[in-house]
Copies of this chain bind each other. A is one copy, B any other.
């Protein structure tokens, strides 16, 4: 056997082994925790693969579209299509089906608002899922609250979490966290995908957090239109991207919450945090309004630099706590750092005497498991001093 032949054979063996390992799927699939009642599919296995199934006897092709990858399904003799994805990270993922070119929700899953649409979600069991499990502990309430906004001249909706003790002593007042979703999401995200209410219920039951009210509103903001209905020109994202929501938050939402709930209505009892777009809004709004907020959290959306502090000296004096976080895969890619080094920024601010925190969620990307964990960490630090 020539040297070349041996090399070729070795290479072929490696290729074969690789193909076999790709094809091997551990057959311990169970229905996802966020399936519709009684639905067997989608299912998830111990590797984190997602298997879907749908009856479409007349279809030419069906795909599972998850994590920006499309996986072809295979049709059985009854016209039922089935197939699975590569392993996914722990936690929650959006996905959809593609039936002959039509992108549609999977009829088996519950639906969540993300990527600008109501669509399917699937839950990969996580090693730390206990932090957001539904337990037999006292539960807070999540209130759907409609109110008229003078700034927007329309009726808006927010969700307000009140802690379990809120109804016990009706004289007690509470601090408030304004908690914002990401781009393409809305005011339902932190409760449904983020499970913020269950995380708080569990933290409170274990005495790990102070009780506070959480306000989850809609931070989506479009550039105003001209008289002709055209969007006004300017850079994208526009400065107003945060400013537009800032006016609504400062002038409408906060006064409405302070009127309708038993809040501690001052700066030292008011926090703002958000994920991705919501983190960037939190950055812009709290840098400009550190007289309104004392505790600041930014999950997967940039950081506060020593330059920012220099340009906004009140921020250093007014803000009691700064929390910056990312998923480890985001740290590796550097995609949501906004060109800065968030860890170095936090170290610098600490040296300047700020109570600044930096957290990295292990083995997660720009996704909800990062934000659930970030909120779990952040909530324990809030309103402690």
Complex CA–CA separation, A36 to B119 (angstroms): 11
Complex CA–CA separation, A385 to B143 (angstroms): 31
Chain B residues in 8 Å Cβ range of A260: 167
Complex CA–CA separation, A191 to B145 (angstroms): 13
Complex CA–CA separation, A111 to B167 (angstroms): 32
Residues 173 to 194 of chain A near chain B (Cβ within 8 Å):
186, 191
* A146 on the B face (CB < 8 A): yes
* A142 on the B face (CB < 8 A): yes
Contact present for B99 and A104 (CB under 8 Å): yes
Copy tally for this chain in the complex stands at 2
Query: Interface range on chain A: under 10, 10 to 19, 20 to 34, or 35 or more?
Result: 35 or more
Provided the pairs A139-B145, A141-B145 are in contact, do residues A101 and B134 lie with their beta carbons within 8 angstroms? no
* A60 on the B face (CB < 8 A): yes
Chain B residues in 8 Å Cβ range of A56: 99-102
* A116 on the B face (CB < 8 A): yes
* A11 on the B face (CB < 8 A): no
A159 and chain B: residue at smallest CB distance? B144
Provided the pairs A38-B116, A117-B107 are in contact, do residues A102 and B54 lie with their beta carbons within 8 angstroms? yes
* A97 on the B face (CB < 8 A): yes
Contact present for A100 and B57 (CB under 8 Å): yes
Residues 115 to 156 of chain A near chain B (Cβ within 8 Å):
116-119, 134-136, 139, 141-148, 155
* A362 on the B face (CB < 8 A): no
Complex CA–CA separation, A258 to B61 (angstroms): 54
A220 and chain B: residue at smallest CB distance? B37
Contact present for B101 and A57 (CB under 8 Å): yes
Chain B residues in 8 Å Cβ range of A134: 146, 155
Chain B residues in 8 Å Cβ range of A62: 102
* A170 on the B face (CB < 8 A): yes
Contact present for A143 and B146 (CB under 8 Å): no
Complex CA–CA separation, A59 to B104 (angstroms): 13
Chain B residues in 8 Å Cβ range of A317: none
Chain B residues in 8 Å Cβ range of A107: 103-105, 117, 119
Chain B residues in 8 Å Cβ range of A247: none
* A55 on the B face (CB < 8 A): yes
* A110 on the B face (CB < 8 A): yes
Residues 183 to 223 of chain A near chain B (Cβ within 8 Å):
186, 191
With most chain B CB atoms within 10 A of its CB, the pick from A61, A105, A110 is: A105
Provided the pairs A116-B37, A146-B139 are in contact, do residues A58 and B61 lie with their beta carbons within 8 angstroms? yes
Complex CA–CA separation, A148 to B135 (angstroms): 9
* A224 on the B face (CB < 8 A): no
* A79 on the B face (CB < 8 A): yes
Pick from B61, B104, B146, B148: contact of A105, CB below 8 A.
B104
With most chain B CB atoms within 10 A of its CB, the pick from A38, A141, A160 is: A141
A38 and chain B: residue at smallest CB distance? B116
Complex CA–CA separation, A104 to B145 (angstroms): 31
A54 and chain B: residue at smallest CB distance? B102
- Residues 244-283 of chain A, each 1 if its beta carbon lies under 8 Å from chain B, else 0: 0000000000000000110000000000000000000000
Complex CA–CA separation, A55 to B38 (angstroms): 30
CB distance from A109 to the nearest CB of B (A): 9
Contact present for B102 and A55 (CB under 8 Å): yes
Chain B residues in 8 Å Cβ range of A155: 134-136, 139
Q: Nearest 3 pairs between A and B by C-beta? A: A56-B102, A58-B100, A59-B100
Residues of A within 8 A of B (CB): 36-38, 54-62, 79, 97, 99-105, 107, 110-111, 116-119, 134-136, 139, 141-148, 155, 160, 167, 170, 186, 191, 260-261
